[in-house]
Structure formats: C-alpha cells, structure tokens
Amino acid sequence: MPAVQFVPATAQDAVERADEAVDQLLESGRRPEDVLVLTVGEPHPWQQHELSFGEAGYWAQLAEGGDVFYADAATPRPLRREVVVLVVNETSAARVESAVRTVLDHVGALLLVCGETARVAPLLPAEYRPVPA
C-alpha cells in the first residue's frame, strides 16, 4: 500500500507546489524516472511543451523512462511509477473525484497530493486518509 502525503495548495497554486515537491523528491535522491506528475485540470506547462513536438515523441519519453513524466490524470494509458504527484489544479468536483478514484492504480510507493486536503482526503479510500491531529 503506497504512502500518501498532502501538500496543501489551492487549485491556482497547485502546479507551483507540485514543482517544488518534485524538486524536493529529486534532491532527496529519488530518480527522475521514478516520478510521474498527473494534473487534474490544465496540463502542466512541461507537458504542453513536450506535446508541442508531437504525440509520438511525447509518449516515447514515457517508454524511455529517463525523466519525470507529466500527463493528464484522466489519460486512459497505463501509467505507473514509484512516486506519483497528483496536481489538483481543477475546481470541478467530478474531475477531482475521478482522478482521486483512479490515481492509486498509478502509484508504487508514494502519492503526493498537491491540493486542498479537506476537499481531496475524503475522496480517498479510508486507509489512505490522513489521521486527524
């Protein structure tokens, strides 16, 4: 069962908080190829940049596995990495609920949720919810 950690963030600053979390993961020794960043709302700027070169090259990067990979949380493709950073940069309850329901299928060891804890935590299965202090 993966560990779940929350990085408090509003939908507006979730991408920035996620970028900081990814930097911290890499600085702590995590390998880039172990990290997957999934956005619930607008695509991450890095994903947009990579897609500007074409879908084939973008998805080839996933297969090569040499770097952090950025994708939409709703992608139907089978994505799995040791660490998943879920970026809750969306206010639509339906999109957030759908992403939270499926994100655990993508995680090996650690899920970092960058979003509003009070909004997202209740959507997780009980065993993944933070323990109240």
CATH code, 98: 3.40.50.300
90 domain-assigned:
yes
Q: Give a yes or no: residue 127 inside a domain.
A: no
Residue 69 covered by a domain: yes
What is the structure's pLDDT at 1?
84
Distances (CA, A) of 2 to 32, 58, 81: 18, 27, 11
**pLDDT tens track for 41-59:** 999 999 999 999 999 999 9
Q: What is the pLDDT of residue 8?
A: 96
Residue 68 domain flag: yes
Domain count, the chain: 1
112 φ, ψ to 5°? -105, 120
* Phi and psi torsions of 111, nearest 5°: -115, 125
- pTM of the model as a whole: 0.94
So what's the pLDDT on residue 126? 86
The span from the CA of 16 to the CA of 56, in Å, is 27
Domain range for 77: 3-122
Q: Is residue 19 part of a domain?
A: yes
Q: Is residue 132 situated within a structural domain?
A: no
**Using CA of residue 49, residue 42, residue 58, residue 46, what is the dihedral sign?**
positive
Q: Is residue 130 part of a domain?
A: no
Residue 87 falls inside a structural domain: yes
pLDDT tens for 69-80 read 999 999 998 899
Name residues of the chain where pLDDT drops below 50.
none
